[in-house]
Structure 1
Amino acid sequence: MAEVIGSMSALITPFLNGKIDFVTYEKLIRRQIQYGMDAVVPVGTTGESATLSHDEHKECIEAAVQICKNSGVKVLAGAGSNSTKEAIDLSQFAQKMGADAILSVTPYYNKPSQEGLFEHYKAVAQSVDIPVMLYNVPGRTGISIEIETITRLAEIKNIYAIKEASGSMERTISIATSVPNIKILSGEDAINYPILAAGGVGVISVTGNLLPRLIAKLTKSAMSGEDKESRQINQTLYPINHTLFVESNPIPIKAAMFIAGLIPSLEYRLPLLKPNEGNYRLIEKIIKLYEVEL
């Protein structure tokens, strides 16, 4: 069972006239392949999964798998839901399409107990044979997977990792110390380097949509123990990492991609809107500090 680790981008979902722009989607994924990313992550938070239809969600997974086929770049398919039944359906579809692993966010809105979280993830993991990565992002979902629950989940054979997007280094170190048999990947660009330095085995990056080569280089150097180089890259990336979260993700990253000429139309699904004028100008200013390869 090949586990998916290393440098990954949480892909945006480009829209054109209200529909998914699959022509641009393919170009963006091929760009990820070209600039050295280890994997792509379709239909996560950054991919606006919350406002895609069930069919659109599946179409994005299928497209990513087909585009990455024979490239050496893996697909970690976003397949989470606040409905266990729906999460199982998406996970099984991802496996059927040939995804390498699934990323499963904690159920949002309904705020289950820790036992509910355990049973949810157990049911999802047992419904597929491919690896499962937990996704902890309490700022989005209103619930956090406690260390004790992670410990129990790590005993399920195909639950291999957690995307930690709580923003807490203390929690990250606590997981690494308490649950050594679960791999940790950074879900917060601002602390990619500290998490990697603390034993993380990869990043799932928003910034990677815009600057895949730099994110791949940061991850590789940090995981190889080249601390001086990875620290320097981390410092270089800080202004853009910070700016891409001045409004709710993926509002700034899609604006950045549009400004850089990587997507032809700046479209979101309601209730998300374009960034306000001041933030749009800030994004324009910060992008000028970087060489964005097309």
Structure 2
Amino acid sequence: MTAEAPVHRARRSWSDVLLNVWGVLVMLFLFAPIIVIVIYSFNTGRLLVSWDGFGFDAFLTILEKPAIQNAVRVSLITALFAAIIATALGTLAGIAMARHPGKWVWWFLGLLLLVSVTPEIVDAVALLPFFVWLGQDMGIGLFNDGLVRLSIGSSLFATAVVSYIVRARLVGMDANLEEASSDLYAKPVTTFRRVTLALAMPAVLAGFLLAFTLSLDNTIVAAFVQVSGSTPWPVYVLSAVRSGLRPEIAAVSTIMLLLTLVALALVALVLKRAGDSATQIARTMTGG
């Protein structure tokens, strides 16, 4: 028997080490503020920046303050309605772009990109007089409701995101199943419901969850279009800065962070169960 030659590990170059260190520093730069706010959510002090000790007082305080509960409730309801609106519009737009290609698609993608990159302050300034015109001048009382205003305002960016995701899902799929359904004399509505929508469903669910999480944080638009009695959580936090941030602000922020992480995990799980690889999941979630 001959002895096996020892296996020598290749020495890592300085460039690899530096790139790894740089990657760690970038991750710390991105997540350090989030880690700090999570830690300070367990602060028992009166003010957020004054650490007095570790405890769950801030989380218990949430149950004692109706103003916080109402702000969180408004944000969750608004995010749910905005996600429904964005999913309905974005799904139809994404399917249309994937199944009816042409020059119009690039123009439409340009419009979606414009919606995505337009500063929120521009959307907010445009939405406020628009809602006032519809609600007061046109006499459509629906647009005087704060939840309606917040839901529509939050759904703008989310609709573009859902459109990207659904299009990315269907572009890489052959339309043979839909053509076969038509050859078997299925009605267009039946083909859409049982074939096209079924193929796009993982992306639709992913888009819905992402739209929900994106709509939870829409501070600028919400600050402009809200009405009395429908103050969402981001606006509540903004107003609380004037009197000093309290630990319960960090506690609610931590809960919302967990909610966002759960939603993103569900997105990845839905796409994974649909048979997507890690690369495909990343591509779908980013609309690539």
Same fold (TM over 0.5): no
Q: TM-score, normalised by structure 1?
A: 0.22
Greater share of helix: 2
Greater share of strand: 1
Structure showing greater relative contact order (alpha-carbon pairs closer than 8 Å, 6 or more residues apart)? 2
